[in-house]
Amino acid sequence: MKSIDLRSDTVTLPTPEMRRAMYEAEVGDDVYREDPTVNRLEERAAELLGKEAALFVPTGTMGNQVAVLTHSRRGEEVIVEAESHVYLYEVGGIAALSGCQVKTLPGVRGAMDPAAVEAAIRPVNVHFPRSGLVCIENTHNRSGGCVLPQENVAAVAEVAHRHGIPVHMDGARIFNAAVALGRPVAELVAPVDSVMFCLSKGLAAPVGSLLVGSREFIDEARRYRKLLGGGMRQAGVLAAAGLVALELMVDRLADDHANARRLAEGIAEIPGLAVDMATVQTNMVMVDIVDPRFTGRTLVQAFERWGVRCNDVGPRRIRLVTHKDVTAADVELALDAMARAVKAGP
Ligand SMILES: *Cc1c(COP(=O)(O)O)cnc(C)c1O
């Protein structure tokens, strides 16, 4: 039986076009800035996001951590949403690498209240850390891929900038947000100073993320990338796949979003499972377990036996993610298998 992998959009395999582009990529030593394919990818990313410059990094985590290192100083405080990736899933990097402490604020589907951000900014006082950076996340992973309301992005950035504090966006899936809103990605990121986005998720490239911002910011970020061991050599082999991702894989994210919606509607009809449809905005579905026989862990195991793979993200919650290697027909097969699995019990 074929298994349908809905654990994450990171499981996507490179397309034939990507493999061809990688094979044929013109390369050089990127630490000397001599890899023409990396240079092209960085220029293209900056252009698409409406910023001056970009930096190719191996992972989204490195992109976010390089951004924090570049924006902040040791002993400062970084304001983050309490369920954000940069805080929860990056191995304590803000503390370990930048020597900063975090101030977490609650979010509504990832969106922090601009007034709460303003209240969290430290006044000038010899006892206090300085507030060095505000981080936001779009789309917001832990809330199920919700898109930040654009007026919230603008309001949070306005507050931070009024206090002289830069704003970094973890835009791992910013292209999902742009496709969901039907707006150019440059418009979504216009209020913020820097953005990280991933090529390796829904865009299906094998490896890579970009950090984007002003030329001055990226010049400094390049030094921190080197510090973290991210100065790669003939990285054009990887960048070539990224260029294909940006050219061919953005518009089709709409298919993933349609599949996620269908998946969510079908799951909501399975007795004992619940989905808040208002949160199904892009390519993720968060499922709450009402059936007392299951926990997140045992439901994942039961689905696995029926050929559907997903992740538990809480004691009574699982997450399913659609992507280009899951077709509309796969979604129907998965729904059928999940209904049978729930009926059969743990
Ligand atoms: C995946 C992800 C990252 C990190 O990307 P990696 O390439 O896995 O290091 C950062 N932020 C969010 C919201 C993500 O989903």
Between the CA of 338 and the centroid of ligand 1 the distance, in Å, is: 27
CA atoms within 13 A of residue 65's CA, in its CB half-sphere: 25
Whether 11 lines ligand 1, by a CB cut-off of 6 Å, is no
Minimum-distance ligand 1 atom for the alpha carbon of 61: 9
Between the CA of 63 and the centroid of ligand 1 the distance, in Å, is: 9
pTM score, two decimals?
0.98
Whether 136 lines ligand 1, by a CB cut-off of 6 Å, is no
Q: Give me the percent of the chain exceeding a pLDDT of 90.
A: 99
Whether 83 lines ligand 1, by a CB cut-off of 6 Å, is no
Between the CA of 2 and the centroid of ligand 1 the distance, in Å, is: 27
pLDDT of residue 252: 98
Whether 198 lines ligand 1, by a CB cut-off of 6 Å, is yes
Between the CA of 62 and the centroid of ligand 1 the distance, in Å, is: 9
Measured between alpha carbons, how far is 320 from 315 in angstroms, rounded to an integer?
Answer: 15
Distances from the Cα of 199 to the Cα of 41, 69, 91, 154, 246, angstroms: 11, 22, 21, 25, 8
pLDDT at 2 over 80: no
Q: What is the 3-state secondary structure (H, E, C) of 74-139?
A: CCCEEEEECCCHHHHCCCCHHHHCCCCEEEEECEECCEECHHHHHHHCCCCCCCCCCEEEEEEECC
Model confidence pLDDT, tens digit, residues 154-191 = 999 999 999 999 999 999 999 999 999 999 999 999 99
Atom 6 in ligand 1: which residue has the minimum CA distance? 60
Residues sharing a CB contact under 8 Å with residue 96, sequence separation 6 or more, in sequence order: none
Whether 141 lines ligand 1, by a CB cut-off of 6 Å, is yes
Whether 138 lines ligand 1, by a CB cut-off of 6 Å, is no
Whether 59 lines ligand 1, by a CB cut-off of 6 Å, is yes
Q: What average pLDDT does range 291-296 have in this prediction?
A: 98
220 phi/psi in degrees, rounded to 5: -75, -40
Between the CA of 188 and the centroid of ligand 1 the distance, in Å, is: 19
- DSSP code for 148: P
CA atoms within 13 A of residue 161's CA, in its CB half-sphere: 12
Q: What average pLDDT does range 82-102 have in this prediction?
A: 98
Model confidence pLDDT, tens digit, residues 203-261 = 999 999 999 999 999 999 999 999 999 999 999 999 999 999 999 999 999 999 999 99
Task: Please give the domain boundaries of the chain with CATH numbers for all domains.
Answer: 11-248 (3.40.640.10), 252-344 (3.90.1150.10)
Q: What average pLDDT does range 91-103 have in this prediction?
A: 98
pLDDT of residue 1: 61
